Amino acid sequence: MGVTIGMLYPGFGAEDDYPYLEEILGEGVSLPLVHTSVGVDAHEVEALLDLGRSERLLEGAQELRTAAPDAVMWACTSGSFVFGWNGARQQAREVQDALQVPTSSTSLAFVDAIRALGMDRVAVAATYPEEVSRHFVDLLGCGGIDVTRLVSHDIATAALAGELDREGVLELARSNDSPEAQAILIPDTALHTARWINELEETLGKPVLTANQVTAWQGLRLAGALRPCAALGHLFAETAGVPAGA
């Protein structure tokens, strides 16, 4: 049987990662995507709080209803973690209540992915300014995850992050190869990463978790349809068969 994971994706940046993920995950996986509305495209706390407000997400959720999703993901890291641990969970609950299917977000997916890998020490290579990145570190801390080192690249907008090419993404990952970290996190769904996860892991010699990767992983996991995928790194290789809540 097929599985449909609805994606609520803010604006435009690296949304073409999702058709690619759909393709490599194989027959029966559908990742329909709705672009949620954006006020100001800026990696600034106030702009991100506006980006993730309930009205925007619930409007997008109504558009997803016709796809009859088995699970839904708020495919945005910064527009979830700026609300904090409890706020990000409430955000997901509101969409879940509206559509009556399991719902999560990219920020919460990072926490669950790290736990599923049995890890608790990570490094973060972020596109955001430091002020914004610190909110992600705080959310990870609430999930029991220690950030051994944070590097912030001060990219001002999602649109600019979406312009980074393969070499730019590799350089970003290399910027924070903290030896104490068990994995490297690259938290921005506006950044193209899906095609290069195995190369990133080979370059750094450890698992690399990226935003669009963990978003797809979490959606499949919530729908009870997680499957191995050789193109998507340690996360998909090592956690297939781990049930939601484990």
For 115-167, what is each residue's pLDDT tens digit?
999 999 999 999 999 999 999 999 999 999 999 999 988 887 888 887 889 99
User: Which runs of consecutive H residues, i.e. helices, occur in the chain?
Assistant: 17-25, 45-51, 54-64, 78-81, 84-99, 106-116, 130-142, 158-161, 166-174, 197-204, 211-222, 233-239
Domain that holds residue 194: 110-209
Question: Model pTM?
Answer: 0.94
pLDDT the model gives residue 40: 82
pLDDT at 242 over 60: no
119 shares its domain with 35: no
179 and 159 in a common domain: yes
pLDDT at 1: 65
Residues 152 and 225 in one domain: no
Q: What mean pLDDT, rounded, does the chain reach?
A: 92
Query: Confidence band (pLDDT; 50, 70, 90) for 219?
Result: very high
User: Looking at residue 187, what is its pLDDT?
Assistant: 93
| 70 assigned to some structural domain | yes
Among 80, 82, 147, 140, residue whose Cα is nearest residue 113: 140
141 within domain boundaries: yes
Q: What are phi and psi of 232, to 5 degrees?
A: -120, 30
Q: Which residues, in sequence order, are bridge partners of residue 36?
A: 10
**Which two tokens mark 102?**
């399991």
Give pLDDT tens digits for 78-95: 999 999 999 999 999 999
Whether 8 and 82 map to the same domain: the answer is yes
Same domain, 46 and 76: yes
Q: What is the pLDDT of residue 241?
A: 56
- Specify if 246 maps to a domain: no
Whether 182 is covered by a domain: the verdict is yes
Range among 155-164, 213-222, 227-236 rated most confident: 213-222
Mark whether 216 and 103 lie in a shared domain: yes
Are 233 and 150 in the same domain?
no
Terminal-residue alpha carbon distance, the chain? 23
Q: Is residue 244 part of a domain?
A: no
Q: What is the mean pLDDT of residues 201-227?
A: 95
Look up the CATH number of the domain holding residue 180. 3.40.50.12500
Res. 8: pLDDT tops 50: yes
pLDDT at residue 65 above 80?
A: yes
Of 174 and 214, more confident: 214
Q: Between these two residues, 198 and 176, which has the higher pLDDT value?
A: 198
pLDDT at 98 over 50: yes
Residue with tokens 């997803």: 64
Identify the H or E element spanning 73: strand 71-74
CB atoms within 10 A of CB 230: 9
pLDDT for res 244: 45
Residues 151, 70 within the same domain: no
Q: Do 175 and 122 share a structural domain?
A: yes
The total number of structural domains that make up the chain: 2
Q: Is residue 245 part of a domain?
A: no
85 and 18 in a single domain? The answer is yes
Query: So what's the pLDDT on residue 243?
Result: 45
Element (H, E) at 4: strand 3-10
| CB contact set of 94 (below 8 Å; sequence gap of 6+) | 54, 57, 58
Is the same domain home to 103 and 172?
no
Q: Are strands 103-105 and 71-74 parallel, antiparallel or unpaired?
A: parallel
